[in-house]
Amino acid sequence: NAGVTQTPKFRVLKTGQSMTLLCAQDMNHEYMYWYRQDPGMGLRLIHYSVGEGTTAKGEVPDGYNVSRLKKQNFLLGLESAAPSQTSVYFCASRPALAGELFFGEGSRLTVL
């Protein structure tokens, strides 16, 4: 039982490049989330999904896209990376009827 797994764990991009972060959970959770964490700012919600095939914008969605084609996977895409997207990205999931979030270990992205 791996919980929430994020890949890759580290990535360096050049401005303008694109990439996708993958989040996979094996707990059959309905809800999945992508947050970014920057120093002194806590966690800010980028996008979230309440079920397969559905996504919604969070607090800071600009510059990101997401897809939830399968219940267990939630993908976060950057179409044209910018230095302002340098951050640590966390995926989380939870069951529909419970409040507790389960987090992955994070993906550290640097955009040069």
Partner 1 sequence: SQQGEEDPQALSIQEGENATMNCSYKTSINNLQWYRQNSGRGLVHLILIRSNEREKHSGRLRVTLDTSKKSSSLLITASRAADTASYFCATPNDYKLSFGAGTTVTVRA
Q: Residues interacting with partner 1, by CB under 8 A?
A: 4, 31, 33, 35, 40-45, 48, 50, 56, 58-59, 90, 92, 99-106
Tokens of 84: 């302002």
> At 1, which amino acid appears?
N
CA dist., res. 51 & res. 74, Å (int): 10
For partner 1, the closer CB: 59 or 79: 59
Amino acid type, 110: T
Local structure of 23: helix, strand or coil: strand
Q: Among positive and negative, which fits the CA dihedral 65, 81, 46, 106? A: positive
Q: Which is nearer to partner 1, 44 or 71 (CB)?
A: 44
Residue 17 or 72 with smaller CB distance to partner 1: 72
Give me the least distance between CB of 59 and partner 1, in Å please.
7
In the complex, minimum distance from the CB of residue 75 to partner 1, in angstroms, rounded to a whole number = 18
- Min dist. Cβ of residue 106 to partner 1 (A): 6
Contact 55, 32 (CB under 8 A): no
